[in-house]
Chain A
Amino acid sequence: MARNLLVQVDHNVCVGNAMCETFAPHVFRLNDNRQSEAVDPAGDSEEKILEAAANCPVSAITVKDAETGEQLFP
């Protein structure tokens, strides 16, 4: 059973580059402002989510273990 994740996108820095959506398409979706939102943190594997976060060109994505609070990215 995969652990639960807390995935957040900082809208002060997100530029809508949309790379996250291509790496983890079930987790990230662009909103009406065309900024990314984590709509379902369980939508893709942890590996894909971390890859999406690493490929964010402005480091807008934070990934944490939802239970322990441990920061997994950055």
Chain B
Amino acid sequence: MGMLLQDDMFTPEVIADPYAYYGRLRDRDPVHWNEKYELWVITRHDDLVWLTRHHELFSSAVFKNDPRPAYPAIDESDFGLYEYVRNYQGDQFIQHDRPEHLAMRKVVHGYFTPKSMEEWRPFVRNAVKHLLDEAEKKGRMDVMRDLATPLPVLVIAEMMGVPEPDRPYIRQLAEKLLYIGRGEHDRMRPLTEGMKGMIEYVSPLVDERIGNPGNDFISVLASGEREGVFTRHEVLVNTSLLLLAGHETTINLLCNGTLAFIQHPDQWAKLKQDPAGAAKLATEECLRYDSPVKSIQRIATQDVEMRGKTLKKDARVRWFISSANRDPNTFAKPDTFDITRWPNQHVAFGSGVHHCLGATLARVEGQEVFKALAERFTGFRIDNEALEYQPSITFRSLKSLPIQWQ
């Protein structure tokens, strides 16, 4: 498409500000063929909702159904490692289609109902209080390091019964797993190290819960093996997946949301008027305005017509939450951060049968953090203006968010 000077999703400009680039695509070419990476880029809200709700047309078994090499290109010497990655990713329950996906999701779905997640709220509230007590003593904090990372790691590790001393190690492994959405040619090395490390770490935990189940979440996954829904490798991979998914995206919600409040003092003032009352809708707006996940991929299961174009069977199709959540056809003043916005049909958690399993948990954590910040602090300023994001097309992740209070 001639009007775009460059069409690369990994440039520093697009990483720093995805909204300008994907917004342009949404306005001018909403079903866009990216020649460089040979994939369709879907950017409109209504298209994204339609696509995610037609799971029979767009397979989630992306790694199993896509024999093409990794993109951006990787070192030839790492092709073997990519096979390991495909095998590992392919066993995640989210990388399956119906009917297998439904059977797998049902093993874990009941653990994450809104009612059962609500029971975790006091634990979350207490953890937030302790982390903020510690930070307040120092007079400043890196929101990423001191709040947004330890909170969700603590919560998911508690759910899974991961011993406390091991939690920093889990975070180290998680950081390696995040290379999945990045562009470095040598990324397969840290990525496979993270995957192998996770499998090695969770194996004895799973062994123990298979023989001696408790009410923790690993025992729930292990029950899937007893019922014949999961193989052992699938239990191990899904334990690793949920350990990662249970915190990485929440980190982004907490950091990006806090940043949005710092950049919009009027909305911060509104939250401070009634922190408990405003936190729920405010969290939804944080999810919409600067979404933790930027994009997710599918594979077309057959030729599909979208806006006059034919997405050929087996084509890669990538849908962009970051642009859909700023679509002016769905949201009034889409670039305005408005914490009273309702209804707010953002797609931060996707939609359809693959809608994020941990959505309610993320919401509880967001609500408790934004409420606690507003109850405790007058305001913040950023310690260092040069904010940087991880070079990922999957995640909208700040590298750090150092702040001081006023």
Residues of A within 8 A of B (CB): 12-13, 15-19, 22, 33-34, 54-59, 74
Q: Which of B93-128 contact A (CB under 8 A)?
A: 102, 106, 109-110, 112-115
Q: Is B273 an interface residue (CB 8 A)?
A: no
Residues on B with beta carbons closer than 8 Å to the beta carbon of A58: 114, 355, 359
Contact present for B113 and A33 (CB under 8 Å) = no
User: Does residue B378 face the partner (Cβ distance < 8 Å to A)?
Assistant: no
B113 touches A18 (CB 8 A): no
Residue ranges of B at the interface with A (Cβ–Cβ < 8 Å): 53-54, 102, 106, 109-110, 112-115, 343, 345, 349-353, 355, 357, 359-360
A58 to B359, CA, bound (A): 8
- 18 further contact pairs, Cβ within 8 A, besides A15-B355, A17-B353, A57-B109: A12-B343, A12-B345, A13-B343, A16-B351, A16-B352, A17-B352, A17-B355, A18-B352, A22-B106, A54-B113, A54-B115, A55-B109, A55-B110, A57-B112, A57-B114, A58-B355, A58-B359, A74-B115
Contact between chains at B102 and A22 (CB < 8 Å) = yes
Give the residue of B113, B351, B357, B360 whose beta carbon is less than 8 angstroms from that of A15: B351
Enumerate 29 A-B pairs (CB-CB under 8 Å) in ascending A order. Answer: A15-B349, A15-B350, A15-B351, A15-B355, A16-B53, A16-B351, A16-B352, A16-B355, A18-B352, A18-B353, A19-B109, A22-B102, A22-B106, A34-B54, A34-B352, A54-B113, A54-B115, A55-B109, A56-B114, A57-B109, A57-B112, A57-B113, A57-B114, A57-B355, A57-B357, A57-B359, A58-B114, A58-B359, A74-B115
| Least distance between B81 CB and chain A CB atoms (Å) | 35
CA distance A22 to B109 in the complex (A): 12
Docked-complex contact B109 and A15, CB < 8 angstroms: no
B residues less than 8 Å from A18 (CB atoms): 352-353
CB distance from A32 to the nearest CB of B (A): 10
Question: 5 closest pairs, A vs B, by CB?
Answer: A34-B53, A12-B343, A17-B355, A15-B351, A16-B53
Q: Once the chains are docked, how many angstroms separate the CA of A54 from the CA of B106? A: 13
Please give me the residue from chain B that is nearest to A19 by CB atom: B109
> A13 to B355, alpha carbons, bound, how many Å?
12
**Which secondary structure dominates where chain B touches chain A?**
helix
Using A19-B109, A22-B106, A55-B113 as known contacts, say yes or no to A33 and B53 having CB atoms under 8 A apart.
Answer: yes
A50 to B115, CA, bound (A): 13
Q: Please indicate the chain B residues that have their CB under 8 angstroms from the CB of A56 in the complex.
A: 114
The residue of chain B having its C-beta at the shortest distance from the C-beta of A33 within the complex is B53
> Do A57 and B360 touch (CB < 8 A)?
yes
B362 to chain A, nearest CB (A): 11
Q: Closest CB-CB distance, A30 to chain B, in whole Å?
A: 8
Bound CA–CA A55/B107 (angstroms): 12
CB distance from B283 to the nearest CB of A (A): 14
A54 to B118, CA, bound (A): 12
CB within 8 Å for A59 and B355 given contacts A12-B343, A15-B349, A34-B54: no
Instruction: Give Cα distance in the complex from A56 to B359, angstroms.
Output: 12
